[in-house]
A and B are shown apart, each in its own frame.
Chain A
Amino acid sequence: MRTSVILGSRAFALTLTRLCYQLIEDHGDLKGTVLIGLQPRGVLLARRLKAALGRILGHDDFLYGELDITFHRDDFRRRDMPLAPSSTLLDLTLDGRRVVLIDDVLYTGRSIRAGLDALLAFGRPEQVQLLTLIDRRFQRELPIQPDYVGRWVDSLDGQRVSVEWKETDGADQVVLETGSDRRGAPAADPISHEH
């Protein structure tokens, strides 16, 4: 398996800062906006953005939640192992609020579809936007597009993009892995998947 860093720690920090200012540009002081991180990996990005926004705005009285989508996935009974749920922390109703869904990598769009489905159990938001650190833009299987993007990555089907965090993985960086497919078995030749 070959790996290459596509976003180093300095660029990573700059990108997070830019995303914060884009949110502020659109939402002002963020009062009335709810930031929601998707479990399991989106919450790491959401927590980081929440802390950074608090520093920039000088207050942290904006609404924040973490959402698990396990029971809303469309691949139940299609995978060998069912996924055990992560926790959901969303102690508020979304009626009439502006929501920003936050995930680390946007790939097929299926997680976001499940996230939207799960979200609607908490009320009827005025608007839902999507923020993602990485957009693998040519791999979408559903008509879902992000509103805020850290970096676009044009990758192949056999490749894997992983976002690593200082807290859990030792360093802030985004890595492109080549040579194994999504199920972990070696892919024959990633180039041959190109259309």
Chain B
Amino acid sequence: MSTDNPSGQLSTDHLLGIGDLSAEDIELIFRTADGFKEVLNRPIKKVPSLRDITIANLFFENSTRTRISFELAEKRLSADVVNFSSSSSSVKKGETLIDTVNNILAMKVDMVVMRHPDPGAAVFLSRHVPARIVNAGDGTHEHPTQALLDAYSIREKLGSVKGRKVLIVGDILHSRVALSNILCLRKLGAQVMLCGPTTLMPRYVDTLGVKVEHDLDKALAWCDVANMLRIQLERQGGDGIANFPSLREYAMLFGLDRERYERIGKDITIMHPGPINRGVEITSDVADSGASIILHQVENGVAVRMAVLYLLASRIPREQ
């Protein structure tokens, strides 16, 4: 860990996507997260840094773990928190996004954490409202804090990200986790390979600087880390399964089970961003094995989100 630069500042006012961050920004977030990880192991897991900051969590799309993770991160930084989900809001009455958010900001909110089904919603909001925006997932575009916590978990498990071979398996086409992960891992100097059915690969895949392999066994033999993405049934066309014949066929060709894991003949680290479709992309005996760092990812999520919120809040000018 570098101690040459004891102080630091992010190069951005918002976290809209990994695309906006430099490698130095990501390293700064990781160093800061190291400090918060220690705080989270104290008997009293709370620091006063953000006690004069108010944060609104706006979730226009369902989420359990990301919302809880952000809320815990905010509370452990002593921020005031308000929660809002579209099912219980005026959005159903036809209010526009900017109106909704400006009404919330009128009540003196400093930062907005937003999940939205439309790609680009966070960028759009950052241009039109005077608050710091953290993107907690915008449609099929980006999910930057998930990519940061994934890379942080790899760094924690393997010591570094640079030079590691990371395999991302599954529904790349619909996955904001995949896109953010690819951008983040490439910025940190990892090699990335994608694996999945041709129908679930985006058309622009050759612009991403990654390898593509359609044979999971070959891909697993290549990698140090395998990130098994969730099949996003809610984003497939029509009856839910238009891009591949059946879930059973997907599980046979691209699912990771004990037998396939043992055929690799070496230790690799298994990740999953959750929630798991057990028996589809990964079976329980692998997901719950010693090779899996799935629950560490969840634990690290709080520390990484605390670091992001802390560093962004430090750029908010203080009222005189």
Contact = CB atoms under 8 A, between A and B. Distances in A.
Interface of A: 40, 68, 70-72, 76-78, 80-88, 93, 117-118, 120-123
A71 B47 CA distance: 6
Contacts of B36: 71, 85
A87 B43 contact: no
B7 A82 contact: yes
Interface residues of B, number: 29
Contact of A84 (B6, B44, B49, B316): B6
B314 interface: yes
A86 B3 CA distance: 9
B35 A68 contact: yes
A78 B316 CA distance: 10
B10 to A, nearest CB: 9
B49 A85 contact: no
B7 A77 contact: no
Contact of B32 (A84, A93, A122): A84
Given A77-B318, A84-B7, A72 B47 contact: yes
B167 to A, nearest CB: 32
In order of increasing CB-CB distance, the 9 nearest A-B pairs are A85-B35, A71-B47, A82-B314, A121-B44, A81-B7, A121-B42, A77-B318, A71-B49, A88-B38
Contacts of B45: 121
B311 interface: yes
Interface in B31-76: 31-32, 34-36, 38-39, 42-49
Nearest to B38: A88
Contacts of A72: 47-49
A76 B35 contact: no
A77 B38 contact: no
Given A68-B35, A82-B311, A87-B38, A77 B316 contact: yes
Contact of B6 (A77, A80, A83): A83
Contacts of B6: 40, 83-84, 86
Contacts of B32: 84-85
A113 B254 CA distance: 56
A142 to B, nearest CB: 16
